[in-house]
Chains A and B, each alone.
Chain A
Amino acid sequence: MKRNKHILFISAAVTVAFIFLNACKKEDAATKQPLAFSHLDVPSGWPAPHYDYSTNKLTEAGFILGRKLFYETKLSKDNSISCGSCHQQASGFSNQGHSLSTGVDGQLGKRNAPAISNLIWQTNFMWTGGVNNIEVMPLSPISNHLEMNETIANAVSKLQNDAQYPPLFNAAFGTSTINSQLLLKAMAQFTGMLVSSHSKYDAYTNGEIDLTTNETNGLNLFNQKCASCHPAPLFTNLQYINFGLDSIFNDPGRSEITGMAADSGKFKVPSLRNVALSYPYMHDGRFATLEQVLDHYSHGIVHSATLSPLLNNITPLSVTEKQDIISFLNTLTDETFINDERFKNPN
Chain B
Amino acid sequence: MGSIVREWVGFQQFPAATQEKLIEFFAKLKQKDMNSLTIVVMGKGGVGKSSTVNSLIGEQVVRVSPFQAESLRPVIVSRTMGGFTINIIDTPGLVEAGYVNHQALELIKGFLVNRTIDVLLYVDRLDVYRVDELDKQVVQAITQTFGKEIWCKTLLVLTHAQFSPPDDLSYETFSFKRSDSLLKTIRAGSKMGKQQFEDSAIEVVYAENSGRCSKNDKEEKALPNGEAWIPNLVKAITDVATNQKKAIHVDKKMVDGSYSDDKGKKLIPLIIAAQYFVVKTIQGAIRNDIKISGKPL
Query: Are A and B physically bound partners?
Result: no
